[in-house]
């Protein structure tokens, strides 16, 4: 296994990295936790959250471990696929791009749907155009933030997003303590049926998805030591699990089985509730660039692979191709050199390409948000495949291929190797369960 000594230099601090990872994980899914509890029951729902936290956390740890096999500062899903399963790299990047981009667009849809309920009057704007107005207005924040190249540049907006998360948490918990909401639904400890569990299973499992930005966090981190990265991951996962359990339980105990998918919308209209709705908008507004970031990287990887393939085909059919080919023995030696192999998979990202892809994603994203009223079904299908690939299947495959395969591998490394395979199997199970719940329920 490559050296795991710390690589410390210029880059993001541990605090900055933690903030961005926590904000990537904690999104709109927080507000759906009470609904998950209403189908799973208070005890089994908590158990599922803990299982999701452990498996997702292990996936993040595997990303930290396998990042040492990629060039320093250039760990991506594409690069590691090129080292391990090159034939699948483009397929997985397409899935990642669609999943992250679809999630980003869903945030825009939520902004367009929620803001007209908060601000009901806009001078000189007809009511039927309120949704369009707020979508256009959101570009004031999303466009500049989307052109920031590094995640570390988004740490301040992530802090604002976490402040919104803190308010929403205190809002839900405060109403439960105050006991000022009449409950009209029963409370159960266990799920009423297996079908009910399937219907909200994906909410809990996907709530911990922060893997799409983990490699970027590792690449930008000032201290890339395994110990520091694992501590960062543990802190983020534990905090997220606590918030999911607290909001889920208190929201469920407040409204019972009649709780809806967005709990904030169930509270009586007053200034505190209005502020809570504003916090949702802030939370998803600042989550948008965090989702666009990995989507842009994956699109660039696919573009690079397609461009590379086109150039190779062009060279093969070029009549001016050299008759005397290079010495194949030198090529074979290069193929056996891991360091040279790693250098070959560093994907360039020129500024012109960065700008072009960002503009394209923004234009297409806003076009879909404005014109498509509901694509929840498509998003559910993409999420079932894309999220499980990012969170479980790919980290597990990387870990199984790269960790503990050496002759002198320790028992701990071999244990991690087979635990990685177990994570991949878990990912496949999650994928089928979520696809079943999307198609059949």
DSSP per-residue string spanning 211-268: GGGHHHHHHHBSB--HHHHHHHHHHHHHHHHHHHHHHHHHHHHHHGGG--SSGGGGSP
* Per-residue pLDDT, 397: 93
Low-confidence ranges of the chain (pLDDT < 50): 4-5, 319, 321-343
pTM: 0.85
At 347 the three-state DSSP class reads coil
By the 10 Å C-beta count (0-12 exposed, 13-18 middle, 19+ buried), 92 is classed as buried
Neighbours of 320 (CB within 10 A): 6
Beta bridge partners, 378, equal none
- Both tokens of residue 279? 């916090």
Residue 431 lies in a domain: yes
pLDDT for 429 equals 92
Domain count of the chain? Answer: 1
Is 332 within a domain? Answer: no
Give dist(CA 192, CA 327) in Å, integer.
Answer: 68
Please report whether residue 224 resides in a domain.
Answer: yes
Domain that holds residue 310: 14-320+349-440
Whether 327 is in a domain gets the answer no
Q: Which CATH number goes with the domain that contains 134?
A: 1.20.1740.10
Answer whether residue 247 is part of any domain.
Answer: yes
pLDDT at 318: 56
62/187 Cα distance (integer angstroms) = 38
* 340 located within any domain: no
Q: Is residue 412 part of a domain?
A: yes
- Secondary element (H or E) of residue 346: none
**DSSP notation for 254-306:** HHGGG--SSGGGGSPSSHHHHHHHHHHHHHHHHHHHHHHHHHHHHHHHHHHHH
- Contact predicate 23/158, CB 8 Å: yes
**Bridge partners for 223 per DSSP:** 8
What pLDDT was estimated at residue 330? 44
In-domain check, residue 272: yes
DSSP single-letter state for residue 110: H
For residue 30, give every residue at least 6 positions away whose Cβ sits within 8 Å of its Cβ, in sequence order, or none: 165, 168, 169, 207, 243, 244, 247
Q: What is the model's pLDDT at position 9?
A: 55
> For residues 56 and 396, what is the distance between their CA atoms, to the nearest angstrom?
11
Would you state the pLDDT for residue 426? 94
């Amino acid at each position: 296994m490559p050296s795991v000594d710390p690589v410390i230099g210029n880059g993001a601090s541990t605090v900055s990295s933690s903030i961005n990872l926590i904000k990537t994980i904690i999104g709109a899914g927080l507000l759906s936790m009470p609904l998950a509890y209403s189908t799973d029951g208070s005890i089994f729902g908590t158990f599922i959250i803990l299982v999701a936290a452990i498996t997702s956390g292990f996936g993040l740890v595997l990303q930290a471990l396998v990042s040492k096999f990629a060039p320093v500062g250039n760990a991506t899903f594409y690069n590691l696929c090129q080292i391990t399963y090159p034939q699948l790299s483009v397929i997985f990047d397409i899935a990642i791009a669609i999943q992250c981009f679809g999630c980003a667009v869903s945030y825009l849809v939520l902004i367009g749907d929620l803001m007209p309920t908060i601000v009901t009057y806009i001078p000189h704007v007809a009511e039927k155009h309120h949704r369009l107005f707020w979508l256009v207005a959101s570009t004031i924040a999303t466009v500049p933030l989307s052109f920031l190249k590094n995640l570390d540049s988004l740490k301040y907006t992530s802090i604002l997003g976490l402040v919104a998360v803190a308010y929403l948490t205190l809002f839900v918990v405060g109403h439960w303590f105050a006991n000022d909401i009449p409950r009209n639904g029963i409370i159960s400890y266990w799920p009423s049926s297996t079908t009910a569990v399937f219907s909200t299973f994906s909410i809990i499992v996907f709530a911990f998805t922060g893997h799409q930005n983990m490699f970027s966090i590792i690449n930008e981190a000032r201290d890339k030591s395994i110990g520091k990265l694992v501590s960062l991951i543990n802190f983020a996962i534990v905090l997220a699990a606590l918030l999911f359990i607290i909001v889920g339980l208190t929201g469920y105990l407040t409204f019972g089985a009649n709780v809806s998918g967005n709990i904030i919308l169930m509270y009586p209209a007053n200034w505190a509730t209005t502020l809570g709705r504003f916090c949702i908008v802030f939370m998803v507004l600042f989550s948008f660039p965090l989702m666009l970031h990995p989507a842009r990287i994956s699109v660039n990887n696919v573009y690079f692979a397609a461009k590379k393939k086109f150039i190779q085909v062009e060279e093969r059919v070029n009549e001016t191709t050299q008759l005397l080919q290079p010495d194949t023995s030198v090529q074979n030696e290069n193929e056996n050199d891991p360091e040279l192999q790693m250098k070959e998979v560093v994907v360039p990202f020129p500024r012109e390409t960065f700008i072009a892809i960002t503009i394209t994603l923004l234009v297409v994203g806003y076009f879909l948000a404005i014109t498509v009223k509901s694509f929840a079904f498509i998003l559910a299908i993409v999420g079932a495949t894309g999220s499980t690939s990012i969170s479980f299947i790919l980290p597990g495959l990387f870990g199984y291929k790269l960790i503990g395969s050496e002759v002198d591998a320790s028992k701990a490394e071999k244990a991690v190797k087979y635990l990685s395979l177990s994570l991949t199997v878990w990912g496949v199970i999650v994928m089928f369960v979520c696809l079943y719940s999307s198609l059949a329920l």
